[in-house]
Amino acid sequence: MHNIAVHQQSFPVQPAQRFLVFRDMAIIAAAFLALSLFTPLYWLTDFAVMCILVLSFDLLYGYMGHLSFGHMLYFGAGAYMASLALLHLAPNPFLAILAGLVCGAALSAVVGFVVVRTSGAAFALVNLAFNQIGYWLALSGLQDYTHGEDGLPSSVEALWFLDFRQAPVAFGFMLVCLLLVFWLLKTLTASPYGIVVRSIKENEDRVKFLGYNTFRYKWLTFVISSTLAAFAGSLYALVKGFVAPSDVNPLENTRIIFSVLIGGAGNLYGALVGSVAFEMISNLLATTIARWEMILGLMLLALVFWFRRGITGYAYQLYLDRSYERLVKFAQGMGLSLRRQK
């Protein structure tokens, strides 16, 4: 059926090089360390936590195409559960993180069963509704546990060298957690599972006709994403030693969505660049301009009109265009003319 020449040609796609993820992790660590030269460490600690939260959101929105206005619910649930574990069980940081993770996973497993049946605007709004319920519970429904508006203070005991009151230790710990989350998401999104998720974004029905129960994968993705958000929440509780209803406030979802849009959705680097950029901007502007949110509004307009794919998407396009131009010039030098292939 085929001639031998076909088999002798090399296939244009080569197996992935698995060390690349470690190179990227080294780059992320180096970037954070470089930032620490001129940025306060407690800022960077917050940035790392925010990065985890935004990365978790990127799996749901950027990769699977499900925009949620209720991601803060899981962040808040993780934060509250970690604080409660610190207060009532033991002041052990790892126990608190475990409690936050279990809480996020259990909550999203139940809620996911409902929300994953919807998509598009309905998905965003049903999630917002659940987030609003969670906000109310933190504020008054579960006041006996959450202390309502007063918030919930907690303290962690130092474990060996792990003392969260020391800024470098807290920063180092959050950075390691961020790298772990990055490794996990990078591995998942490069796997066949990642292709299922990206395929669901484009055409869910078609995925069913390849033999996949898409409901199960959407649910699973929702749970993974939410559990990682709860992980970020429990880390937040450890660093701050205080959780308040504002940490479950549905309005805070705009921060996450903004960060992903600024950085560029659907690639993990975008989530990282976006959340660092957003946190930098909001931290710096808030101290200088009273109504700094206005600048954010203008930035959103600019994003929608000119930079749909965010900073990383724009940079990548620039890279492609430049390298293409260079190739054309080189070819012209060789007496060839190159046209972009259809």
Partner 1 sequence: MPDLISTSKLSKSFGGLVAVNRVDFQVPEGQVAGVIGPNGSGKTTLFNLLSGYFRPTAGSVRFLGKEVTDQPPYARVGMGMARTFQLVSVFNSLSVWENLVLSSFHRRQQGSRLGSFFFKPAREASTLADCRQALETVRLQDKAGVFTSELSYGDKRMLEIAIALSLQPKLLLLDEPLAGLSDHEIGEVLQLLHEVKDNFTLVIIEHKISKITDLVQRLSVMNEGSLICEGEPGAVLCDPNVRECYWGRETDAC
- Tell me which residues touch partner 1 (CB under 8 A): 1-2, 6-7, 9, 11-16, 18, 187-188, 190-196, 198-199, 201-203, 205-214, 341-342
In the 8-state DSSP scheme, what is residue 91? S
Q: Which is nearer to partner 1, 20 or 301 (CB)?
A: 20
Q: Which is nearer to partner 1, 69 or 217 (CB)?
A: 217
Q: Smallest distance from the beta carbon of 171 to partner 1, in angstroms?
A: 29
Q: Smallest distance from the beta carbon of 192 to partner 1, in angstroms?
A: 5
Q: Which is nearer to partner 1, 162 or 188 (CB)?
A: 188
Q: Which is nearer to partner 1, 92 or 199 (CB)?
A: 199
Q: Which is nearer to partner 1, 14 or 287 (CB)?
A: 14
| CB neighbour class for 82 (10 Å; exposed up to 12, middle 13-18, buried from 19) | buried
Count of other CB atoms within 10 angstroms of residue 333: 8
Taking the CA atoms of residue 113, residue 274, residue 34 and residue 179 in that order, the dihedral angle to the nearest 10 degrees is 20
Is 173 in contact with 96 (CB distance < 8 Å)? Answer: no
Q: Which is nearer to partner 1, 216 or 329 (CB)?
A: 216
Q: Smallest distance from the beta carbon of 224 to partner 1, in angstroms?
A: 10
**H-helix or E-strand containing 271?**
helix 268-288
Is 97 in contact with 227 (CB distance < 8 Å)? Answer: no
Q: Smallest distance from the beta carbon of 16 to partner 1, in angstroms?
A: 4
Q: Smallest distance from the beta carbon of 231 to partner 1, in angstroms?
A: 18
Taking the CA atoms of residue 272, residue 100, residue 43 and residue 264 in that order, the dihedral angle to the nearest 10 degrees is 20
Q: Which whole-number Å values give the CA distances from 210 to 205, 213, 327, in the listed order?
A: 9, 9, 39
Q: Smallest distance from the beta carbon of 334 to partner 1, in angstroms?
A: 23
